[in-house]
């Protein structure tokens, strides 16, 4: 039986011949990031062997004793930027949880339901957590339910990313033996860490936390509640979670009679985070025609026009997270996040942490491709204009655009951006067609989500992710999944209102829309 020695973990793991390094690492609880869950496509799980060679741990099958050096990505992960604040609105403090001291005991009510009783007067000790469960990041606020005051806030990387980065890979991971248990345990450990940090920072005992709002996409809600998400991953994409559900919080280590509220989900790929976004941005109450977009791997969007809402999601893929991009990386120190070409052709670059550029994160990628498209270094069809010879460098006999000393952009990278932006743009066009609205009649465009927060309107227009008619109408509204979760926590009436609103939303499945293929292909050019 071959033995793998994990050098920096100081661990020896005996394995059956033919086991991959990734499988061995997982069995030994060694954190090895594999965003594509071992498909061999993302190239991010590379490790160094004893002989100095670098291999993909998910593809390398062990047949004899080897030593493996796992790269330490903890520092990079801890440094990932997280946007916690989102736009919100005025609402009455009328929480679901109420406390009532009757002279001897304090009753804890969840709506009309008596949840439990505590000895003495504890009526001032009443807290809840608004939790945004992002596929990549978790943001939690501890909120006093009588006053609405945010008494503590914490955030961290979603530890499930170590098993699979994007939603579909994670659903696939859940379908494997023990997969959903692993993901649920991983979520619970993160939840406990956030809960303890909130409790310590505010000096609030965890037994006085009575309700938690889980605001996340449909798959994340499944994984945060230990619910089987597998039917989400196959047509007709069925959710195992009911709309606007309340569940007991027994597993989450808050008050012994605490509860968890799951906001209504719109569809398998338009989740509670978008419902929270609609709520926080008052999308359904705004005047005129308003488009709400969360730019990311799933590119969810909702169009509001004449009191009617239509929603869809688009398979943008992980290019915006730096995946499948030659020099792509997460939004961590060293990542190029801004890029500009001035009128005199001088280039200015801003990296996260103002360090030497080591790669490109999503916002930088859109800036770079946007600027190259604007200056015609990349043509309408996305092709490098090779007549501008002195601009390009060369790699493996092919022209590449030198972004900085160590960072390049290839023609294939531009193609990835075209596919991602084409998916989102075709979704926008399909929604506008559904509600019979012309592009120029859209009054406001709200871009939500932590990725969107770092984008510039100009880049989105330059690459044609948004139509030119949207110029000057774009607002970045931040993490509305979080601010919407807080509103759900603090006002119980909102819950019924949003449940009936969500039922009325026109849900569009793009792949089933006639003419979608032509629309998508037409949306690829700049």
Partner 1 sequence: MSREVELYEKLSEAVVEMEEDDVIELANEVVAEGYDAYQAVDKGLAQGMERAGELFEEQEYFVPELIVCADAMYAGLDILKPHIKTDAEGTKYTVVIGVIEGDTHDIGKNLVKIMQETGGFNVIDLGRDVLPSTFVDEAVKNDADVIAISTLMTTTMGGMGEVIDILNERGIRDQFKVIVGGGPISQGFADKIGADGYSTNAAESVRLLRSLLQ
Positions in the binding site for partner 1 (CB under 8 A):
36-37, 39-41, 58-59, 166, 168-169, 171-172, 175, 230, 232-235, 315, 317, 381-383, 398, 410-412, 415, 418, 509, 511-512, 517, 520-522, 524-525
Shortest separation between residue 447's beta carbon and partner 1, angstroms: 25
Cβ 487 vs Cβ 91: under 8 Å: yes
Cβ 240 vs Cβ 222: under 8 Å: yes
What is the Rg, in whole angstroms, of the alpha carbon atoms belonging to the chain? 24
Q: Please state, in angstroms and rounded to a whole number, the distance separating the CA atoms of residues 475 and 197.
A: 32
User: What are phi and psi for residue 69, nearest 5 degrees?
Assistant: -110, 115
Pick 9 or 166: Cβ nearer partner 1: 166
Of the candidates 511, 474, 502, 453, the residue with the CA atom closest to the CA atom of residue 139: 453
Pick 59 or 186: Cβ nearer partner 1: 59
Pick 22 or 486: Cβ nearer partner 1: 22
Residues sharing a CB contact under 8 Å with residue 344, sequence separation 6 or more, in sequence order: none
Shortest separation between residue 393's beta carbon and partner 1, angstroms: 16
Shortest separation between residue 516's beta carbon and partner 1, angstroms: 8
Pick 297 or 482: Cβ nearer partner 1: 297
Pick 106 or 165: Cβ nearer partner 1: 165
User: Burial of 146 by CB count in 10 Å (0-12 exposed, 13-18 middle, 19+ buried)?
Assistant: middle
Shortest separation between residue 210's beta carbon and partner 1, angstroms: 36
**449's tokens:** 């989500």
Q: What string of DSSP letters covers 223-281?
A: HHTT---GGGGSTT---SS-TTEEEE-GGGTS-TT-EEEEPPP-BTTB-HHHHHHHHHH
Pick 246 or 377: Cβ nearer partner 1: 377
Shortest separation between residue 36's beta carbon and partner 1, angstroms: 7
Pick 169 or 215: Cβ nearer partner 1: 169
Helix (H, G, I), strand (E, B) or coil at 30: coil
Shortest separation between residue 215's beta carbon and partner 1, angstroms: 23
Of the candidates 117, 116, 95, the residue with the CA atom closest to the CA atom of residue 106: 117
Shortest separation between residue 169's beta carbon and partner 1, angstroms: 5
Residues in a beta bridge with 61 = 20
Pick 55 or 79: Cβ nearer partner 1: 55
Q: Please state, in angstroms and rounded to a whole number, the distance separating the CA atoms of residues 51 and 137.
A: 36
Shortest separation between residue 175's beta carbon and partner 1, angstroms: 7
**395's tokens:** 């790699």
**280's tokens:** 């926080």
Cβ 373 vs Cβ 414: under 8 Å: no
Q: Please state, in angstroms and rounded to a whole number, the distance separating the CA atoms of residues 60 and 62.
A: 6
Shortest separation between residue 113's beta carbon and partner 1, angstroms: 37
Pick 172 or 305: Cβ nearer partner 1: 172
């Amino acid at each position: 039986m071959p033995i793998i020695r994990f050098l920096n973990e100081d661990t020896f793991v005996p394995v059956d011949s033919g086991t991959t390094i990734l499988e061995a690492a997982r069995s030994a609880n060694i954190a090895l990031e594999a965003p594509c869950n071992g498909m061999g496509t993302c190239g991010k799980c590379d490790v160094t062997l004893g002989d100095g060679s670098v291999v993909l741990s998910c593809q390398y099958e062990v047949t004899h004793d080897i030593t493996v050096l796992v790269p330490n990505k903890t520092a990079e992960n801890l440094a990932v930027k997280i946007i916690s604040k989102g736009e919100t609105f005025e609402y009455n403090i009328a929480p679901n949880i109420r406390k009532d001291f009757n002279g001897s005991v304090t009753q804890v009510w969840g709506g009309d339901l008596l949840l439990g009783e505590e000895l003495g007067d504890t009526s001032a000790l009443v807290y809840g957590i608004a939790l945004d469960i992002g596929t990549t990041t978790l943001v939690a606020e501890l909120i006093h339910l009588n006053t609405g005051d945010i008494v503590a806030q914490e955030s961290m990387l979603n530890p499930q990313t170590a098993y699979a980065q994007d939603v579909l890979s994670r659903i696939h991971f859940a379908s494997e033996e023990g997969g959903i248990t692993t993901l649920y345990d991983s979520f619970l450990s993160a939840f406990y860490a956030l809960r303890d940090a909130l409790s310590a920072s505010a000096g609030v005992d965890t037994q006085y936390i009575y309700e938690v709002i889980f605001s996340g996409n449909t798959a994340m809600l499944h994984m945060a509640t230990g619910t089987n998400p597998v039917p989400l991953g196959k047509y007709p994409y069925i959710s195992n979670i009911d709309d606007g559900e309340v569940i007991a919080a027994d597993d989450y280590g808050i008050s012994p009679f605490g509860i968890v509220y799951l906001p209504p989900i719109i569809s398998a790929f338009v989740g509670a985070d978008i419902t929270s976004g609609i709520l926080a941005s008052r999308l359904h109450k705004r005047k005129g025609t308003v488009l709400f977009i969360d730019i990311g791997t799933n590119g969810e969007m909702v169009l509001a026009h004449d009191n009617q809402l239509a929603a869809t999601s688009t398979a943008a893929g992980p290019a915006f997270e730096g995946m499948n991009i030659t020099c792509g990386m997460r939004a961590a120190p060293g990542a190029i996040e801004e890029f500009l070409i001035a009128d005199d052709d001088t280039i200015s670059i801003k990296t996260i942490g103002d360090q030497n550029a080591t790669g490109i994160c999503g916002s930088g990628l859109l800036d770079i491709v946007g600027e190259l498209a604007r200056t015609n270094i990349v043509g309408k069809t996305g092709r490098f204009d090779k007549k501008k010879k002195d601009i390009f460098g060369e790699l493996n006999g092919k022209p590449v655009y030198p972004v900085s000393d160590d960072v390049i952009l290839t023609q294939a990278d531009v193609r990835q951006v075209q596919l991602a932006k084409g998916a989102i743009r075709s979704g926008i066009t399909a929604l506008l067609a559904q509600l019979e609205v012309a592009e120029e009649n859209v009054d406001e465009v709200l871009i939500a989500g932590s990725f969107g927060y770092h984008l510039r309107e100009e880049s989105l227009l330059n690459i044609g992710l948004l139509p030119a008619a949207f110029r000057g109408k774009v607002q970045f509204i931040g993490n509305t999944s979080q601010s919407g979760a807080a509103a759900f926590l603090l006002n119980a009436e909102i819950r019924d209102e949003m449940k009936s609103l969500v039922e009325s939303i026109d849900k569009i499945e793009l792949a089933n829309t006639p003419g979608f293929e032509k629309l998508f292909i037409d949306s690829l050019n700049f």
